[in-house]
Amino acid sequence: MAMAMARVVSMRVLISSETHRASSSPRSLQSKTSPSASRKGSLNPSHKTLKLNLEVSPHRAVSAVRLMRIEFGGAFADLLNEKGKGSGDNEMGYVERSIGFRTRDLDDRDLRLVTDIVGGTIRWRRYLDHLISSLCHAENTFRGMEPLLLQILRIGCYEIVKLDMPPYAVVDENVRLAKAALRPGAGNMVNAILRKLVLLKENNSLPLPKLEGDDRAQARALATLYSHPVWMVRRWAKYLGKEEAIRLMKWNNSDPIFSLRANSAKGISRADLVTKLNSLKVPHEPSPHLNDFVRIKTGLQIVIQSGLLKEGFCSVQDDSAGLIVSLVDPQPGEIIIDCCAAPGGKTLYMASRLHGQGMVSAVDINKGRLRILKETAMLHHVDNVITIIHADLRIFTENNTLKCDKVLLDAPCSGLGVLSKRADLRWNRKLEDMEQLKNLQDELLDAASLLVKPGGILVYSTCSIDPEENEERVAAFLLRHPEFCIDPANRYVPPHFVTEDGFYSSNPVKHSLDGAFAARLVRAS
């Protein structure tokens, strides 16, 4: 904890002392703007006065700074990635102020490299830190390492060990970055550690922990080998067994597969989307589960840069989320309420399935996320069937007698089913969160149930694979609410997604989709 705090403080110092560094460092020619102007980022012309360094590879400099923003600045890896090229200027402002010099602008290839390196380095953080600390002379060296130096070392290790890039070029490039962004001594340290790593890798003798000892020791070793928090490994070993837990961690560490949904509300068919993807040369395959969906393994950045998302031509939506909408089975003319709706992935898909007749009320406690929902609804031409309600669901249901045909509660959850896409989530999620989330899920379920008309449907869903957030919450709810019973999922989703109890469940390892869960419950008439 103290170590983390020390790193946060030094990160803050690094960012806020940029003006000082710019004027005191001989490497970074003087910035002439005020500190407040320089904090504004892209629109600040000062960065053009910084020295342009053509020796440092820009994607590594950007990756190192982006990693610090994610680890210490609260930025989310997936959001930074999705902004892609459009945010280039803004990001370059951060980079320059953090390292004290300019790099050349990123081209499309650099942007893809940044996405890959940042995602991979975050996922493999625990594993990489184990290697780096094992290769430091003293334990204190690793503990007291300044944040930027640590990020550069992590990038170098990741490139050598996981990307199998030409090792001596990787060493040289990262040494150059450390020297330019920090000081010559930092470059020497990067050189020493990465060269040792290259030799150990060549001799097939990386210093990795052995899978031995009691359950705790084995969980710690697995947590390092597959780079996850120990508490997650122990939980999965308990619920899934060791072998399945390993398969799940391998999936979480693999490159994410994305699905795109053609926006039928705008008259766009899957065939239209396929034509566009062909013209962009993005490899794709039709979803075997959903008519409007297409799956892509690579090329998301190309899709983003092409503007297809901004135009509302299609959305990024995993099949696992689309199948939850299939379980709700929205029909034209129905009155539906989406209780935790923002940013609106499922609201928009449900609305498009109403074909202009009926209504989806979208409730959420988060105003900012609701704003995104509202804007996207207009973009997608479904705003005529969406009503937005900013409220805490628990208070909303106290003051409302609204009764709906269908109620979707896509509850706040741990997100343990989406760790392959949310690279940083595994490090942000804590065991203590699970208890709090379960209480909130129970309260929201009770509140949502009040909105279901007699004979109506309540769908409870999560993007978690954790039984305590899924089956256990439903079982506890049914005990409190005997007026509800399970409506088996097999009439709405393909049979291999249906559990013995009649729930919908997508399993990353089995289905190659995000992990998700949903129960369809019917209220007695």
Ligand X SMILES: C[S@@+](CC[C@H](N)C(=O)[O-])C[C@H]1O[C@@H](n2cnc3c(N)ncnc32)[C@H](O)[C@@H]1O
The DSSP symbol for 52 reads B
- Residue 344 annotated as binding? yes
- Is 341 annotated as belonging to a binding site? yes
The token pair at 338 is 């989406």
> Using the rule CB under 6 A, is 346 a contact of ligand X?
yes
Binding ligand X (rule: CB under 6 A), the pick from 29, 165, 365, 402 is: 365
The yes or no reply on residue 220 touching ligand X (CB under 6 A) is no
Q: Using CB under 6 A, which of the segments 191-199, 228-236, 358-366, 429-437 binds ligand X?
A: 358-366
Those residues whose C-beta lies under 8 Å from the C-beta of residue 307, and which sit 6 or more positions away, are none
Distance of CA 467 to the CA centre of its chain: 21
Interface with ligand X includes 362 (CB under 6 A)?
A: no
Specify the residue, 131 or 474, whose C-beta has the smaller distance to ligand X.
474
Instruction: Work out how close the CB of 483 gets to ligand X at its nearest, in angstroms, rounded to a whole number.
Output: 22
Stretch that binds ligand X, among 106-114, 116-124, 341-349, 467-475 (CB under 6 A): 341-349
User: Residue 369 interacts with ligand X (CB under 6 A)?
Assistant: yes
392 in a labelled binding site: yes
Of residues 277 and 328, the one with the C-beta less far from ligand X: 328
Of the candidate spans 143-151, 248-256, 391-399, 504-512, the one that interacts with ligand X by CB under 6 A turns out to be 391-399
> What's the CA gap between 314 and 303, in Å, rounded?
10
Residue 204 and residue 198: Cα distance in Å, rounded?
Answer: 10
Is 463 a known active-site residue? yes
Using CA atoms, how far residue 141 sits from 7, 252, 364, in Å, is: 13, 30, 46
Indicate the residue among 238 and 367 with the shorter CB distance to ligand X. Answer: 367
Name the residue nearer to ligand X (CB basis): 236 or 396: 396
Residues 61 and 99: beta-carbon distance below 8 Å? yes
List, as one string, the DSSP characters of 158-205.
IIIIIS---HHHHHHHHHHHHHHHT-HHHHHHHHHHHHHHHHHHHTT-
Question: Do the annotations mark residue 524 as ligand-binding?
Answer: no
Is 261 in contact with 292 (CB distance < 8 Å)? yes
Alpha-carbon Rg for the chain, nearest whole angstrom, is 25
Residues 304-323 as x/- pattern, contact with ligand X by CB under 6 A: -----------------x--
Helix (H) or strand (E) holding 361: strand 359-364
Has 502 been labeled as part of a binding site? no
Residues between 423 and 482 with contacts to ligand X, criterion CB under 6 A: none
Residues 404/456, Cβ–Cβ less than 8 Å: yes
Query: Interface with ligand X includes 344 (CB under 6 A)?
Result: yes
Question: Which of 157, 339, 413, 463 is labelled catalytic?
Answer: 463
Among 11, 257, 393, 465, binds ligand X (CB under 6 A): 393
How far is Cα 132 from Cα 129, in angstroms, rounded to an integer? 5
Site string for ligand X, 90-129 (x = CB under 6 A): ----------------------------------------
Q: Which of 118, 265, 363, 419 binds ligand X (CB under 6 A)?
A: 363
Q: Is 364 annotated as a binding residue?
A: yes
400 near ligand X, rule: CB under 6 A:
no
342 part of the interface to ligand X, by CB under 6 A: yes
CB 249 within 8 A of CB 233: yes
Select the span of 223-231, 269-277, 286-294, 339-347 touching ligand X (CB under 6 A).
339-347
The answer to the question of residue 382 lying near ligand X (CB under 6 A) is: no
Integer Cα distance of 459 and 523 in angstroms:
11
Exposed e or buried b for every residue in 336-359, given b needs 16+ CB within 10 A? bbbbbbbbbbbbbbbbbbbeeebb
Q: Quick one: 129 or 469, whose CB is closer to ligand X?
A: 469
Alpha-carbon distances, residue 192 vs 48, 117, 139, 174, 188 (angstroms): 34, 22, 16, 11, 6
Cis peptide before 482 (omega within 30 of 0): no
Q: Which residue minimizes CB distance to ligand X?
A: 340
CB 178 within 8 A of CB 187: yes
Out of 153, 341, 516, 518, the residue judged to bind ligand X by CB under 6 A: 341
Residue 342 is labelled as binding a ligand = yes
189 vs 350 by CB, closer to ligand X: 350
Q: What does the binding site for ligand X look like in residue numbers (CB under 6 A)?
A: 321, 340-346, 363-366, 369, 392-394, 410, 412
Q: Annotated binding site: which residue ranges?
A: 340-346, 364, 392, 410
Please identify every residue annotated as catalytic. Answer: 463
Q: Annotated binding site for S-adenosyl-L-methionine: which residue ranges?
A: 340-346, 364, 392, 410
